[in-house]
Amino acid sequence: MNDEALVVIDMQNDFCPGGSLAVAGGDDIVPLVNDLIAGFDHVVMTQDWHPAGHSSFASSQPGKQPFEQVEMSYGLQTLWPDHCIQGSIGAEFHPGIVWTKTELVIRKGFDPAIDSYSAFFENDRTTPTGLAGYLRERGIGKVVLVGLATDFCVAFSALDAVSHGFDTTVRLDACRGIDLGGSMDAMLTAMRGAGVRLV
């Protein structure tokens, strides 16, 4: 398994029950994610890391409500409740996650003008996070993705992993989704079509 990495997506307090953008059952997967972390030689985690007043927050867009969509310079953007603000408790990893053996934490969404779902690219689809280069330099060709949320940050990361040539698997039992306006079915279909292995 030395050529394989577990990528744990956004297991943060704000995405778990009680958080400002809670995914239903988001904390149910913590024990399984911990078991997977223990079984992998290489573990990478992502962390949403927004400055206060981020442009993707509905509170930053006058007259707009959470989950509405607006046109940004890089395309259509869903607006969110304020979440995962840098240094806040909501941005911290869920306290049940045993993440000490993590080799790399990719922080994303820290540019106030661009949201970032994927572990590989910001939402402009051109600004890389550096994860692909890191994995290649470590000789890693396979990735297994788990975490939150299935139909947003996990799915976008999986699609980008495939586009970078990585053998990509999503463990659906170790993910939970939001399902915003049919987004769950749409993104599962997109992942299958791109060659992501869903197990």
> Can 3 be counted among the known catalytic residues?
no
**Do 80 and 57 touch, CB atoms closer than 8 A?**
yes
CA atoms within 13 A on the CB side of 96: 13
Catalytic residue among 82, 108, 115, 160: 108
Closest CA to 147 of 117, 127, 122: 117
CB-based burial label for 87 (10 Å; 0-12, 13-18, 19+): exposed
Closest CA to 166 of 5, 9, 12, 30: 5
> Can 101 be counted among the known catalytic residues?
no
- Using CA atoms, how far apart are residues 180 and 164, in angstroms rounded to an integer? 27
Catalytic residue among 16, 84, 153, 175: 153
> Can 10 be counted among the known catalytic residues?
yes
Phi then psi dihedrals of residue 169, to 5 deg: -125, 140
User: Which residues form the catalytic set?
Assistant: 10, 108, 153
